[in-house]
Chain A
């Protein structure tokens, strides 16, 4: 399998007043295409910061991030957005659906942004695939946590991205919903051949990934 993502000597610091905290220190990481990776570690270890950097939502203080053979660290915000909207899907712990959009509209938004014809039709197909046929026109406030996360996953994978970033995707769900979400996510990755980087505290979920990375004090152990 060829390399999809390469992180070279990545350092990330956050400034808190006059002081600064080294969140990530000299991170080197390679992710292959179709690879599933779980990132584990204690709270504050730098897991979320790592996937924020990979998603191009933060810029490192030093080092290089190469995605699909293109260095993204030096790109402008809009250029990174362009890469993200086509190739990277992100799933959040708190779902973050747009509150006044229906389930279909939340999913269609990504497709529409990528100029798809009949985005709503495509969104419905996806939601149907995740068992949400009866929830097409419901607002997020009318959905359960599990349903919201399924809509969020549908939104993230709508573009069939090569890389899916998931930050504690089951963190806000009960056990039953957590299992269902994990199954959906891993089944999809397997079927579509996307790579997955998933931050989690859940060891069972972490074990589902082919590779497990442990971060401690900003370093990969």
Chain B
């Protein structure tokens, strides 16, 4: 016989790993299924996230609307400077505003607060506007009094093409419907909006701050020019213009990117939870698989295999299996992208395509590997317990999980790597860490609960009901699946109940604010001389309406203590919105009723010529502002310095009139201003269209409409999140059913003995039922406890909203999960109810 000269031990192990895996994979099908589902979810999240980001990056210029954006925000542009740019680049002017758009010629006309974007003939500089019918967009550019509306607006107001609509006091013809525009990053993506030619501005003669006019200029460089040089040139032109902000493609869609990051972080945590629950099943199934191979392991040891090599053989099988599953799961995740693409192309005009990323594939594989190794260490280590000498005795002991100091330390290290992998680089690392901490606390508590149930039931022996006795025996026996059932079900149920409680609390919080505190309408665009006309118009329709009118001025914070705040306050600051663009501010003689002064004094009347500022306390905290700090404000192009004199507690959620900044009236009254009003009606007599007849430039925002839109979006988000989170329950159920199947032989044998002893099927089923009730009742109680703590923490500390216990949703969900689990347990047990007597009693 010929021997190999330099044999590879690894190739031998690999050969046998492949051989064993190809013949035994059906015995570990539950490992394959649970791993596939959890890896598929993780792959789908990564793939969608990557595809979206790639689309956003690839189309950064289209999303921004140009190579560069000159944003004048609420200020009319310095056209001299803009014209200088036009000398070496293409510039497209874009002015957006919000106003009422109403139907005309109907018996009952409807109005809607609409964002209108006026564009010139150069728009879009990048990408395409998708619209119908053909030629409508070109007509809009040429024909005055023509407008294109988006699909949402068309549906909401039921407007057809060629129908007349009224914007302020002018009639426009709807000549087409827009499907999408390319520059969604700075524009309204959802909701109601319209596109009009630049001539519309002249037709409407817009100038009021209540119209929310927004001035932007998109710039496209000549192809031959060097980007950096042109950028520098433009920066040089605008360097002394405090009102302008230059935006670049890399900053485009930063809001969308942030949402994607947050969403994918949360979903990644859900999928890793599913993986960890699957890990419990992996450990159990693997132990059973190794127990089945007990003899083969002993034979291998007898013929000279090292114990370490046998362990390597099993690890390698898992590695190969994981690699195949990862390839399939990652490949399958590409099938999800077209579904996301359909949704996004309808909503945002974004087209996403599957993007293969080796890094993502390796990351998914690494996550799978870590989970698999962590949970298989105590199982595969049990191979050391197999003795070849057992072959002589014909007795094989049942292997148990084996924990050595080394394996415990290794598991801990690997678990830490896994946690770090999901924490570092995530949008909110502290939340990820908190989530993992909560997950493992729950895991330990559920494990202890299972032990407690066993200890308690062991003491509870004297029962007259035979089915109860059997179920207690099943729960308390040495190889009971109680710990696995309690842990895998408990974790899934806890996660689902927590999310459900957060969802219902969120919805209730939004819904309850409408009737209690909020006004029915917000009105903007009331000019200085129109105040009485407005009040009269409202009171004529509803004499009992309560109206609140406050002056309003548009101002931007240019400097804080002489320094541009944009240089040190980052966009991820909670209060960035205050400096991000111009804000409306107001003034008041007295402290507003619902605004408590937390620090400082109300106005110093002895200094009427000095601008005094009352600031939202949260903004002050976020920006590290102290009393006495000086703000330089830009008010209609004029820079005014003001001193912060007090901090107020402002609760924007009450939806009444609230301002981050209030000024001392003696100073502020001199500033040109208009009014902002709210009204709460006591009847249904208020008619929006009639009000627009009186004041055509008035804009009305119906709170209920907006809240219902927000609630609608939130509902969809929560349903999606809850459905995805339900995957943890699915994994948990697979783990439980596989644990039952692992016990199958014992169960079958036990049922045979029962059959011989005269037990009826009913009694056996009844014992399964009791077993389930005992376990599920305990699980649901602890899960509810954790869900209450978790949801309360999330609502009160993260969302800063009121939390309330929702018994109904817990009962509804608890019963649903319980029912599904019970059906699954009974179905899995069903095949063991009719054991064949002969093979079993002959030990075949």
Contacts and interface: CB of A to CB of B under 8 A. Distances in A.
Interface of A: 48, 51-52, 55, 57-58, 77-78, 81-82, 84-86, 90, 92-94, 96-101, 105, 109-118, 122, 155, 167
Contact of A92 (B7, B305, B387, B391): B391
Interface string B1-42: 111100100001001100110011000000000000000000
A81 B305 contact: yes
A58 B389 contact: yes
Q: Which residue among A57, A82, A99 has the maximum number of chain B CB atoms within 10 Å of its CB?
A: A57
A77 B307 contact: yes
Given A98-B296, A98-B299, A92 B392 contact: yes
Given A52-B389, A114-B3, A93 B394 contact: yes
Contact of A113 (B305, B308, B389, B393): B305
Contacts of A116: 1-4
A57 B304 contact: no
Contacts of B301: 57, 81
Given A57-B388, A116-B2, A96 B298 contact: yes
A212 B603 CA distance: 115
Nearest to B392: A48
A92 B389 CA distance: 10
B306 interface: yes
Contacts of A48: 392-393
B302 interface: yes
B295 interface: yes
Interface of B: 1-4, 7, 12, 15-16, 19-20, 23-24, 295-296, 298-308, 387-389, 391-394
A51 B391 CA distance: 12
Contacts of A101: 19
A57 B387 contact: yes
A51 B302 CA distance: 12
A99 B296 contact: yes
A96 B305 contact: no
Contact of A94 (B7, B12, B23, B394): B394
B23 A100 contact: yes
B299 A78 contact: no
A117 B303 contact: no
Q: Which residue among A81, A90, A118, A122 has the maximum number of chain B CB atoms within 10 Å of its CB?
A: A81
A208 to B, nearest CB: 21
A84 B303 contact: yes
A100 B16 CA distance: 12
25 contacts: A55-B388, A57-B302, A57-B387, A57-B388, A58-B389, A84-B304, A85-B303, A90-B303, A92-B391, A94-B394, A96-B295, A96-B298, A98-B296, A99-B296, A110-B303, A112-B16, A113-B304, A115-B3, A115-B7, A116-B1, A117-B2, A117-B3, A122-B1, A155-B303, A167-B392
A155 B298 CA distance: 15
Contact of A117 (B4, B23, B24, B304): B4
A113 B304 CA distance: 8
Nearest to A84: B304
- Pairs A-B, 9 closest by C-beta atoms: A85-B304, A115-B7, A57-B389, A115-B4, A100-B23, A117-B2, A78-B306, A48-B392, A98-B296
A167 to B, nearest CB: 5
Q: Which residue among B3, B303, B308 has the maximum number of chain A CB atoms within 10 Å of its CB?
A: B303
A113 B308 CA distance: 14
A105 B12 CA distance: 13
Contacts of B16: 109, 112
Given A112-B12, A115-B4, A117-B4, A100 B304 contact: no
Contacts of A109: 16, 300, 303
A86 B304 contact: yes
Nearest to A106: B299
B385 to A, nearest CB: 13
Nearest to A113: B304
A97 B391 CA distance: 11
A48 B391 CA distance: 10
A78 B303 contact: no
A105 B299 CA distance: 13
A117 B7 CA distance: 10
A81 B306 contact: yes
Contact of A51 (B7, B15, B306, B392): B392
A191 B227 CA distance: 88
Contacts of A81: 301, 304-307
A153 to B, nearest CB: 13
Contact of B391 (A78, A96, A110, A155): A96
B303 A100 contact: no
A116 B3 CA distance: 4
Q: Which residue among B20, B296, B298 has the maximum number of chain A CB atoms within 10 Å of its CB?
A: B296
A113 B16 CA distance: 10
Given A85-B303, A94-B394, 17 more contacts: A55-B302, A55-B388, A57-B302, A57-B392, A78-B306, A78-B307, A84-B302, A85-B305, A92-B391, A93-B392, A96-B295, A96-B302, A98-B300, A100-B20, A110-B303, A110-B304, A114-B304
